[in-house]
Amino acid sequence: MKILIIGGSGGIGLSIVEKCLQHYSAANVIATYNSTSPELEHPRLRWIRLDVTHEESIKKLPDELGSIDILINAVGLLHTIDHKPEKSIKQFDVDFYKLNLHLNAIPSILLAKHFEMSLRSKNNTYYIVLSAKVGSISDNELGGWISYRSSKAALNMAIKTISIEWKQKLPNCCVLLFHPGTTDTQLSSPFQARLPEGQLHSPEVTATALLNIINNSTPHDSGKFISFDGSEIVW
Ligand SMILES: NC(=O)c1ccc[n+]([C@@H]2O[C@H](COP(=O)([O-])OP(=O)(O)OC[C@H]3O[C@@H](n4cnc5c(N)ncnc54)[C@H](OP(=O)(O)O)[C@@H]3O)[C@@H](O)[C@H]2O)c1
C-alpha cells in the first residue's frame, strides 16, 4: 500500500502522516513539505520537497512514485504576514485573492490531472482534499473572508466535477472533500480566541476523524463534502 500526503509538514498534514504510519502498518508513506523540512523520521516514511504552485514539479511525481492507494492534499492558506482574511470588501486585494486560489484551489486540480493514472486501480483508491465549511455557499451566513471562502468554493466545485468525470474513468476511486473543523494549527491560531469551548480540535483528533471517514467510505460515496464528524455539508 502506498499513501501520498501533500502538505505533510502542516499542522493537520503532519498528524495525518503519523496516523497513517500507525494505522496502515504495512503502508509506505510519502509526504511533501514546501518550506519546512519536518523532523519526523520512520522506516516507511519518505519526505519530498514540493511547491504545489509549480505544475512541472507536480507533473514529475507520478512517474517517480507509481500507483497510489490514498492521495491526500492538506495544503492550504488562510493568512500571510501581510494579509489577514478580509473583514470587509474594502480590504480586498487582487494579489491576495490570487494567492488563495493558487494555494487552496488550483493544486488539487493539478494533482487530479497528473495523478489520474496513479489512482486508477482494480482496488479501491482514495483522493481526499482538505476543504473548509466556509467554502459552502448555502452555509454562508456571516460573510467576510472573501478570498478564502471563494477559493474553497472554487475548490469544492472543481473536486465535485472531477469526481463525476472519474465515476466513469476511475470507478474504484473515492473522491472526497474533507472539512477538518477548527483545528489547532498556525493557520487557525489568530482566530481561536472567540471559539466556543470544545470546538477546537487537536490535529491528532482531526487526523483520526479523517482516517475513520476513509475507512468507512467506498467509491459510492465519491463526490461528497464531508465534515470531521462524518456528516455531509451542504454546497
Ligand atoms: N486548521 C483549521 O482550523 C482548518 C479549518 C478548516 C480547513 N482547514 C484546511 O485544512 C488544510 C490544512 O490546514 P492546516 O491548519 O494544517 O494549515 P498549516 O498548518 O498552515 O499547513 C499548511 C500546509 O501547506 C503547505 N504549503 C503552503 N504553501 C505551499 C506551497 N507553495 N507548496 C506546497 N505546500 C505548501 C505548508 O508547507 P510548509 O509548512 O512546508 O511550507 C503546510 O504543509 C488547509 O487546506 C486548510 O484550509 C484547516
* Distance between Cα 107 and ligand 1 center (Å): 12
Summarize the confidence of residues 7-18 as an average pLDDT: 98
pLDDT of residue 36: 85
Q: CATH 3.40.50.1220: does it fit domain 2-227?
A: no
- The whole model's pTM is what? 0.98
Measuring CA to CA, which residue among 141, 210, 157, 152 is closest to residue 181?
Answer: 210
Average pLDDT of the chain? 97
d(CA 191, CA 119): 36
pLDDT of residue 107: 98
Residue 208: pLDDT band by 50, 70, 90 thresholds? very high
C-alpha of 142 from chain center: 24
Best residue among 12, 57, 134, 139 to mutate for probing ligand 1's pocket (most ligand atoms within 8 Å of CB) is 12
d(CA 174, CA 125): 6
Protein residue with its CA nearest to atom 3 in ligand 1: 182
Task: Give ligand 1 pocket residues (Cβ under 6 A).
Answer: 7, 9-13, 33-36, 50-53, 74-76, 103, 130, 132, 180, 182-183, 185-188
Residues 6+ apart with CB under 8 A from 204: 15, 18, 19
* Distance between Cα 9 and ligand 1 center (Å): 8
* Distance between Cα 76 and ligand 1 center (Å): 4
**Closest atom of ligand 1 relative to the 33 alpha carbon:** 40
pLDDT of residue 77: 98
pLDDT digit string, tens, across residues 132-172:
999 999 999 999 999 999 999 999 999 999 999 999 999 99
pLDDT at 32 over 90: yes
**Residue ranges covered by each domain of the chain:** 2-227
pLDDT of residue 37: 86
Summarize the confidence of residues 194-207 as an average pLDDT: 94
pLDDT digit string, tens, across residues 96-122:
999 999 999 999 999 999 999 999 999
List the grid coordinates of 104. 487552496
